[in-house]
Structure 1
């Protein structure tokens, strides 16, 4: 029998049982791909993270992220949570980490309190903003289970966007639409079937409403088993880049509240800059430890 240590943390929150849950295996050496996927399914969280030695010794670690059904090229809260766990286990660690992931090299900076204790982290998206196809407002509305009139298209149509992770359908909605949304699995399946080239067989919906620099958001990805996500860093970063692109500025910052409707309120601090290679974004927040244990295989 083999034992593998794990830690669970709540990410993008300062209160236990808020934010987005994450399981982190700080030393995943010896686990096969199939075992990592099975453990992610067993934890039944939106993502589970496995830390391995880097292929390049100049980097900190190789990090693999699995949702319930597949490995992900990049995700936000797993990087924030993994860096937090590693930083708490070695308080003398460097201020920043470099993680090797399928989407590219991911840089994560630790956040410390006045006493130097690690309390959170900020992750930079590994790629600049990539804006994909627009989908009809009726598709986004159907997936969200709200009337089409609740989808706002004055600033932009529902737009697929990413910056290293899975693409998200960024959709601005009314406050009433945000509150009433409930994902329709059948609508998601029909959208993927009706727009195969645009969605590439996958669709997650990120709806939001704005109040200046403050944003309220919800994310639905039922095709991967995540009915609703409490905090989605890999949606917050493309949203930040996309909003900056829409506004035409050189930099911007947004406070994003997510998860409130689930009873797991999260605060994500997203920022974006316009650089020579495009719009680059980062997202950060606090973390809280919850559980420790071993998986025995």
Structure 2
């Protein structure tokens, strides 16, 4: 017999319900098989649905499985933050105060909580490779881009793989009208980003580290605009994407295009107002943070 299980739906990367990216969280996934999890993920029809389980690694506080309508992911950013938020709100107690360790198919992911309650996850290791000219041309055509509008391009993989394009401006990013069917046929998820002003991070990086840190700490206005197209997994456009922003930060901070601390906007084209807070610490670890808010709490019968 199906049984009721504690459930929450969390809006991530926004403090205002309805303006971030929702994730459905089943807070007790024990006893559910893969087919049941996948069926429920299709039913919620959200970009991701997660299932919290007891950890099998002694270093973890809980284990998480992450499903899209089309399949399971080894890691994803906004489900990590939203599930951790729901787990804490339901009474979850981490082994170390202010630091939570999540186990997922990608491995162990550290999550920290700042004084204001905002959560941030440690970006997993990322691999970057150059896309083939053929794939890049096909994706650009699917997005309606001209070659001169693409400043940089890399395949970024931190569990999910994104072909990520740095475009000439935020205006170009926001004006895109992708051919989602064509992108789905290519089988490639695509992320795009562009600066909100002509001055990139280069001038900021050239300043003293003290000034750059002060800028990063004070800045709330977004420096870049991001969009994520994931038609191959049944999500034409994801509202706000933690995994993409994580690998994007690792790539472009390393390339000198972005400062160590900045805010990214995502979801604008969908009527959302997502804000992703990026911080690269002195050890080179990128942290990806954002606000979370509970929209639905209750039980689900599975």
By how many angstroms is 1:89 displaced?
Answer: 2.3
C-alpha distance in 1 between matches for 2:29 and 2:140: 41
- Does residue 131 (structure 1) correspond to residue 134 (structure 2)? The answer is no
C-alpha distance in 1 between matches for 2:264 and 2:191: 12
Partner of residue 196, structure 1: none
Structure 1 pair 221–248 and aligned structure 2 pair: CA distance change class (3 A):
closer
By how many angstroms is 1:203 displaced?
Answer: 1.3
User: RMSD of the alignment, in Å?
Assistant: 2.2
C-alpha distance in 2 between matches for 1:176 and 1:182: 12
Partner of residue 160, structure 2: 166
Partner of residue 199, structure 1: none
Partner of residue 207, structure 1: 192
By how many angstroms is 1:280 displaced?
Answer: 3.8
By how many angstroms is 1:74 displaced?
Answer: 0.5
Partner of residue 227, structure 2: 218
TM-score (norm 2): 0.83
* Over 4 Å off, 4+ runs: none
1:84-143: CA deviation from partner (whole Å, max 9, x where unpaired):
112222386531111111111111112443xxxxx431011232x310222445333223
By how many angstroms is 1:38 displaced?
Answer: 0.8
By how many angstroms is 1:273 displaced?
Answer: 5.3
Partner of residue 179, structure 1: 174
Partner of residue 107, structure 1: 110
Match of 2:252, SS?
Answer: helix
Which piece of structure 1 moves more, 164-173 or 179-188?
Answer: 179-188
Q: 1:227 aligns with which of 219, 236, 239?
A: 236
Partner of residue 69, structure 1: 70
C-alpha distance in 2 between matches for 1:282 and 1:14: 19
Match of 1:143, SS?
Answer: helix
Match of 1:134, SS?
Answer: coil
C-alpha distance in 2 between matches for 1:27 and 1:232: 24
Contact 2:172 2:194 in 1 (8 A): no
Which piece of structure 1 moves more, 56-65 or 226-235?
Answer: 56-65
Match of 2:262, SS?
Answer: strand
